[in-house]
Amino acid sequence: MDSEPLIPKHARVADIARLAGVGTATVDRVLNGRGNVRDSTRQRVIQAKAAIETGTPVVDRNRPWRLKIFLPGEAGPSTEYLAQCFQEFGARGNATIECVFTTKMEPGALARKLRACEGQGIDAVAFQALEDQRVRDAVDHLKIRGIPCLSLISSLANSAVIGFVGTDSRAAGRTAGLLMGRLCQSAGLVAIISGGQYYRSHENREMGFRAVVRKEFPHLQLADTISGQDDIEGNYNATCIFIEEHPDLLGIYSVGGGNEGIVRALQANGVAGEVKLIGHNLTAKTQAYLLDGSLHYVLHQNMRRAAELAVQVMIAELEHQKPIIPILPTEIITRENILGTTFG
């Protein structure tokens, strides 16, 4: 049996144009660094060129699938790394990917961007979900128009999404509760810092954490949740105020981003290392905090695997397959097992 034909290593401009779904003049402008090309179009051309150079099989379509990813802007290095991973997985012959950063914690803005996908030639969408009816309505709007949506990292319950790619957030929170209870042997106060009310993943982490601490470690008192809006400065200010008002603070569980602000607050108040801190997602910063003792555990999800799986799921949906979507594992990272670990 003949093998599937492959695109040649050094394809012509016409090959790149066909794969990217653009004209040859556009390809020429991109390859020669000339202007008058939209960023999204330039991205598709570059991805198509990369796909050709890696010898990806020719897709039996007039153009590759166009996938659009919406991620929160200014959400920290782990989200930036996730966007980078999507660009890498878009460099293949059966899909081009455009990553767009939306205003963080603004469901109205996310809903508008989702609806705007209609009429743009977008085949499928993945997005980090915000719990809001406007977002659900936008997902319904796209479904009716034949554009499937996938929730990513944080789920969207009771909606028309085709599935969810991410970890079991409640299990991650329960794990954090178990670790915190073992870290804090004496009686005292434990605080939870959350990014706000819009991420279901944050809510589930908090619920899991509280359930385990209440049941397994009754010597620990759980404070009301502190909201730092998933922001470095917001977390810094909120943590400083809380430390000043609660000298019996033993530990902090950070369910979201902005850990730099929490560490700065602990350092400014002279309790870094003394107050036990557990956070999420291994990055260059959280790795440094683990090594200097400011952060005790990191609960990590593999962003590279999340991007790869999301792309696979969207394409499978478009090709009328129904894959089983596995839950990504939650990894426990400490300063003792950090050698060889990656931000992926």
Q: Are residues 199 and 307 in the same domain?
A: no
pTM (2 decimals)? 0.81
**In the numeric block, which tokens belong to residue 155?**
């789920």
Last residue of a domain, one of 15, 40, 62: 62
* Residue range(s) defining the domain that contains residue 97: 64-165+303-327
Q: Are residues 208 and 129 in the same domain?
A: no
Q: Are residues 232 and 210 in the same domain?
A: yes
- Report if residue 335 sits inside a domain: no
Give the count of domains, the chain.
3
Last residue of a domain, one of 47, 62, 77: 62
- Report if residue 271 sits inside a domain: yes
Q: Are residues 130 and 99 in the same domain?
A: yes
Q: Between β-strands 220-222 and 331-333, what pairing exists: parallel, antiparallel or unpaired?
A: unpaired
C-beta separation of 139 from 149 below 8 A: yes
Q: Are residues 209 and 316 in the same domain?
A: no
Q: Are residues 159 and 173 in the same domain?
A: no
- Report if residue 336 sits inside a domain: no
- Report if residue 342 sits inside a domain: no
- Report if residue 100 sits inside a domain: yes
Q: Are residues 178 and 205 in the same domain?
A: yes
> Letter for the amino acid at 217?
F
pLDDT at position 1 is 38
Q: Which of 27, 21, 63, 32 is nearest to 42 (CA)?
A: 27
Q: Is the Cα torsion angle 36, 40, 45, 46 positive or negative in sign?
A: positive
Q: Are residues 173 and 275 in the same domain?
A: yes
pLDDT at position 7 is 39
| DSSP string of 251-274, one letter each residue | EEEE-SS-HHHHHHHHHHTT-BTT
Q: Are residues 225 and 152 in the same domain?
A: no
What is the chain's pLDDT, residue by residue, as a tens digit (344 residues)?
Answer: 343 444 345 778 888 888 878 899 999 888 888 878 876 787 778 777 777 776 654 444 567 899 999 999 988 889 999 999 998 876 555 788 999 999 988 999 999 999 999 999 999 999 999 999 999 999 999 999 999 999 999 999 999 999 999 999 999 999 999 999 999 999 999 999 998 678 999 999 999 999 999 999 999 999 999 988 888 999 999 999 999 999 999 999 999 999 999 999 999 999 999 999 999 999 999 999 999 999 999 999 999 999 999 999 999 999 888 888 999 999 999 999 988 777 76
Q: Which long-range contacts (CB under 8 A, 24 or more apart) does 2-11 make?
A: 4/57, 4/58, 5/57, 5/58, 6/55, 6/56, 6/57, 6/58, 7/51, 7/52, 7/55, 7/56, 7/57, 7/58, 7/93, 8/52, 9/52, 9/53, 9/55, 10/53, 11/52
- Report if residue 339 sits inside a domain: no
**How far is it, in rounded angstroms, from Cα 150 to Cα 162?**
5
Using left for φ > 0, alpha for ψ between -120 and 50, and beta otherwise, residue 106 falls in beta
Q: Are residues 58 and 96 in the same domain?
A: no
Q: Are residues 195 and 293 in the same domain?
A: yes
Q: Are residues 173 and 257 in the same domain?
A: yes
- Report if residue 341 sits inside a domain: no
- DSSP label at 59? P
- Report if residue 338 sits inside a domain: no
pLDDT at position 169 is 97
pLDDT at position 271 is 97
Q: What is the CATH number of the domain that holds 82?
A: 3.40.50.2300
**How far is it, in rounded angstroms, from Cα 26 to Cα 31?**
9
